[in-house]
Chain A
Amino acid sequence: AQTVTQSQPEMSVQEAETVTLSCTYDTSESNYYLFWYKQPPSRQMILVIRQEAYKQQNATENRFSVNFQKAAKSFSLKISDSQLGDTAMYFCAYEGYGGSQGNLIFGKGTKLSVKP
């Protein structure tokens, strides 16, 4: 069975600085999808970034980028120029390819606090 591990329960960063959140996963599949979702205090789940495993290029979305290391099964999220609004729980998630679409396996989350 696939698993997703986020080893950092909590992290903090100063406003405008850069922070990296770690995520590792375990799978025997060669094709899959990886996601980062954020859950701010409002508890609304919001997609941050998405990566397709068969693409070697790391996904980027404005201040958010990933370091996808397929061989190491690592999928870290880098947030540049951190803003107060980035304060949230961040969940790493895995979706198998060809299976039940949308059936995500979530990590336990990392609580990120951005300090002024």
Chain B
Amino acid sequence: GAVVSQHPSWVICKSGTSVKIECRSLDFQATTMFWYRQFPKQSLMLMATSNEGSKATYEQGVEKDKFLINHASLTLSTLTVTSAHPEDSSFYICSATGGPGGSPLHFGNGTRLTVT
């Protein structure tokens, strides 16, 4: 079945540095990818929708200058957390769809970010 690879699975960085998270669709072309943030014991919160070849669409309250999204190809989207702070520590998950509306999403394994 369709697989989405997310890398790294966990990362620790110092406050003020930037971290890049990659999301790849391995066996299908994903025109749209989604980035979520999940706090402990909570649901997934959509951060942004990433469209290949165009600017990402950010949800209300998500700082686009802090969470940079690039979707340069049909198989790769990246999320860069710039000037990370401890409050950015969270679990980040990407998903992708390669089919029409109503197609199941394929999720990455997630990235646990810890900012010290």
Contacts and interface: CB of A to CB of B under 8 A. Distances in A.
B103 interface: yes
Q: How large is the interface on B (under 10, 10 to 19, 20 to 34, 35 or more residues)?
A: 20 to 34
Interface in A41-61: 42-47, 50, 52
B54 interface: no
Given A44-B107, A100-B32, A50 B102 contact: yes
Contacts of A98: 101
Q: Interface SS of chain A: helix, strand, loop or mixed? A: loop
B110 A103 contact: no
Interface stretch (B15-23, B42-50, B70-78, B82-90): B42-50
B102 to A, nearest CB: 4
Contact of A45 (B49, B93, B103): B93
Contacts of A68: none
Nearest to B32: A102
Contacts of A44: 107, 109-110
Contacts of B56: none
8 contacts: A42-B109, A45-B105, A95-B102, A97-B102, A101-B101, A102-B32, A102-B101, A106-B44
